[in-house]
Structure 1
């Protein structure tokens, strides 16, 4: 059975990667989707859903701007009569600079999108989801964190700090929404082929080194967006009705040990 029949869903970062894969899957299971993105990918994703017989509306938005988040929530409620699911997925990488080469402007922007964005999603979506959950029995918020937020070695300082914040935000929000029938969880992707990581995957293919992608995890490969999207859909669905306040690693087993190349202070990693 379709798990999201007639449910109203917002997906941020829906223009590509995990967000697009999730938006398409939500729609394929009966969901009515607001595809939100900063780029024209929002319209492309919505068009793909409609072409497949689904229901979707696109909106251009910056996930770290409060007025934009309010507009997206209002659109879902106006078009679909309320809101059942928020997948706060939008994020930026912030590059790979170390702490000493990271300026304040960069880390501020990464935190604005990657951490303040999910905070705003919860702040404005949760009351609408709770209002609907009183009638439907429950709703869900899913945040995209990262294995970089679990411990060091999987991302830059700015990115890692932002994703650690997302993991904690999911736990805090779940507690503060007690009694609302709104669950909040996070997924923690490992290396996944998205627009953010495209240069890494392209370089490996061009250099004939695809066997090195994801070599540090036990599955010895990177993930495809659909593999992450399926976990996000599970957490948003009634199948996960007793999972709340959790951060689920979807990383091929990488975070079971997090092996890394260490970098000494003042030296370049080899």
Structure 2
């Protein structure tokens, strides 16, 4: 019960990692503002309440400043403050290469994936500082660490999130606010579900995530547990870091892999 009586905002809480995290925060005593552009956020709040937890849903565009300030205001009004901000909302932007991506798409991916977390820091941090501290977790990606895990627009946006976490941690020195980035690998969410569904239908689910040493994709709950760690007092001395939870994908440059018990060809 690491979050008893703590006020928490989770963006992208309508599905995937966001929903899993919102449910997990509430299970550990947190009072959750579940924010998402989709109406599915209402179901997330209902699931929390049905389990005896406290939740308030709010429909927001995570890349819109007025909407982010509304979410922060709701947390303060309904739950008396703000202790944790999990800025998780994001979009994929497809898989077009640099030359086939138009500026409208690139700009939209940056608006949601990078400006959104910046707005979360900008408006959550002053509230946290005034009450003595807090924790901010930003969802980045292994695609932000190096190429090969996402489109140019998505990868650039997530690299920006990682740098935002380090910069914010520095600029919040003395405020007792920790800022860290979570870097998921391939995870079964609404964004990636078509890939997983196609693999299931084709009988090739065992090939999903095969490039990482664990040889599988992740489930949202596995990433949610990492987010909760970063937001909790268990990570009280972790600040300004980018933590990869990717089955080991980012641990190596491309190599001829060593299979357990034999050499891969």
Equivalent in the alignment of 2:62: 63
1:21-60 counterparts in 2 under 5 A? 21-60=20-59
* CA–CA distance in structure 2, aligned partners of residues 83 and 121 of structure 1: 12
Shift of 1:175: 0.2
Shift of 1:42: 1.0
Summarize deviations over 1:184-217 as a string: whole Å, max 9, x none: 0010000000000000000000000011000000
Equivalent in the alignment of 2:260: none
* CA–CA distance in structure 2, aligned partners of residues 124 and 110 of structure 1: 21
Equivalent in the alignment of 2:205: 210
TM-score (norm 2): 0.95
Equivalent in the alignment of 1:247: 242
Structure 2 unaligned blocks of 5 or more = 256-265
Aligned residue pair count: 255
* CA–CA distance in structure 2, aligned partners of residues 191 and 257 of structure 1: 16
Shift of 1:65: 0.3
Equivalent in the alignment of 2:151: 156
Superposed CA RMSD in Å reads: 0.8
* CA–CA distance in structure 1, aligned partners of residues 46 and 205 of structure 2: 32
* CA–CA distance in structure 1, aligned partners of residues 177 and 40 of structure 2: 29
Shift of 1:258: 5.2
> Aligned to 1:214, what secondary structure does the other structure show?
coil
Equivalent in the alignment of 2:174: 179
Equivalent in the alignment of 1:265: none
* CA–CA distance in structure 1, aligned partners of residues 240 and 114 of structure 2: 16
| Structure 1 runs, 4 residues or longer, greater than 4 Å off | none
Equivalent in the alignment of 1:139: 134
Structure 1 unaligned blocks of 5 or more = 261-270
* CA–CA distance in structure 2, aligned partners of residues 61 and 182 of structure 1: 24
* Cα pair 1:153 1:259 within 8 Å, conserved: no
TM-score (norm 1): 0.93
Shift of 1:259: 3.9
* CA–CA distance in structure 1, aligned partners of residues 206 and 6 of structure 2: 41
* Cα pair 1:153 1:258 within 8 Å, conserved: no
The answer on 1:88 being equivalent to 2:83 is no
* CA–CA distance in structure 2, aligned partners of residues 44 and 181 of structure 1: 34
* Aligned counterpart for 1:236 among listed residues 231, 234, 245: 231
User: Aligned in 2, Cα 1:13/1:258: closer, same or farther, shift over 3 Å?
Assistant: farther
> Aligned to 1:220, what secondary structure does the other structure show?
coil
* CA–CA distance in structure 1, aligned partners of residues 221 and 150 of structure 2: 22
